């Protein structure tokens, strides 16, 4: 009976990794759609978000069911409660990819991002992709050193976010208010996505140690 339960716990972890893969893929395609004004790709990201939502709901139901049937304690209980939180983070990260794709769709056939900011936005997309891949690795490995190192990628995202604002606030910014609003929101979507990824990694720290990572970071 305990073995079947631990198979179920493993399946939970595999679903979280699957969610990471879908979210990373969504954010990557959303960035491409944004920078190349690819309407078809943007629409795909928007409609594919339902798959992430479905995985999230299905995983939550499975976890509640496991809790009720198996009455886990200690580490197993912590694993399940933490998985519910990670699932919520990943679902939200999917929403943020969806938001990026919606900006691409809203500005089509124009490209939403002006040339001055294309590289910064591409870099934000790259950091988001990298941080999601690393998060997936941390969920699989439970490597606490790797979990804490995600903060460095988040620092890189914060640096790019500040760079974005510097460009927007330059006196020579020629693109007006509407584009500034789009860029402000896009910057926020990427930054929040990275924050949630860091949050998932910190939850792995809690799952393994039973302590919150906030004081150690």
Query: Token pair for residue 27?
Result: 């954010």
Residue 173: both structure tokens together: 């910014």
Among 3, 4, 73, 115, binds a second copy (CB under 8 A): 73
Q: What does the alpha-carbon distance between residue 23 and residue 207 come to, in Å, rounded to a whole number?
A: 22
Rg of the chain (C-alpha set) = 19
Query: Is 106 among the residues that bind a second copy (CB under 8 A)?
Result: no
Rounded to whole angstroms, the Cα distance separating 186 from 97 reads 10
Report the C-alpha gap between 187 and 196 in whole angstroms. Answer: 14
SS3 content of the chain, % helix, strand, coil (to 5): 85, 0, 15
Smallest gap from Cβ 207 to a second copy, in A, equals: 12
Choose one: 23-31, 35-43, 118-126, 165-173; the region binding a second copy (CB under 8 A). Answer: 165-173
Q: Which residues from 196-215 bind a second copy, rule CB under 8 A? A: 212
Would you say 35 and 111 are in contact if contact means Cβ atoms under 8 Å apart? yes
168 in contact with a second copy (CB under 8 A): yes
Query: Which one, 38 or 95, has the nearer CB to a second copy?
Result: 95
Residue where the block lists tokens 């990670």 = 86
Among 81, 118, 146, 208, interactor with a second copy by CB under 8 A:
81
State the minimum distance, in angstroms, from the CB of residue 40 to a second copy. 27
CB of 186 to a second copy, least distance (A): 11
Q: Which residues bind a second copy (CB under 8 A)?
A: 57, 64, 67-68, 71, 73-74, 77-78, 81, 84-85, 88, 165, 168-169, 173, 177-178, 180-181, 184-185, 188, 212
């Amino acid at each position: 009976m305990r073995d079947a339960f631990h198979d179920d716990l493993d399946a939970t972890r595999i679903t979280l990794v699957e969610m990471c893969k879908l979210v990373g893929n969504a954010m990557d395609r959303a960035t491409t759609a944004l920078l190349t004004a690819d309407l078809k790709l943007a629409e795909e990201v928007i409609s594919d978000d339902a798959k992430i939502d479905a995985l999230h709901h299905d995983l939550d139901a499975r976890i509640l069911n496991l809790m009720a049937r198996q009455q886990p304690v200690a580490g197993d209980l912590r694993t399940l409660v933490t998985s519910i939180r990670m699932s919520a983070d990943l679902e939200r990260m999917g929403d943020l990819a969806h938001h990026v794709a919606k900006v691409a769709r809203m500005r089509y056939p124009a490209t939403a991002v002006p040339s001055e900011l294309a590289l910064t936005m591409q870099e934000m997309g790259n950091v988001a992709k990298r941080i999601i891949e690393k998060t997936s690795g941390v969920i699989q490995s439970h490597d606490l050193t790797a979990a804490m190192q995600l903060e460095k990628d988040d620092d890189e995202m914060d640096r790019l976010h500040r760079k974005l604002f510097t460009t927007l606030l330059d006196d020579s910014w020629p693109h007006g208010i509407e584009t500034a609003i789009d860029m402000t929101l896009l910057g926020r979507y990427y930054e929040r996505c990275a924050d949630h990824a860091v949050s998932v990694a910190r939850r792995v720290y809690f799952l393994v140690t039973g302590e919150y990572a906030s004081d150690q970071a």
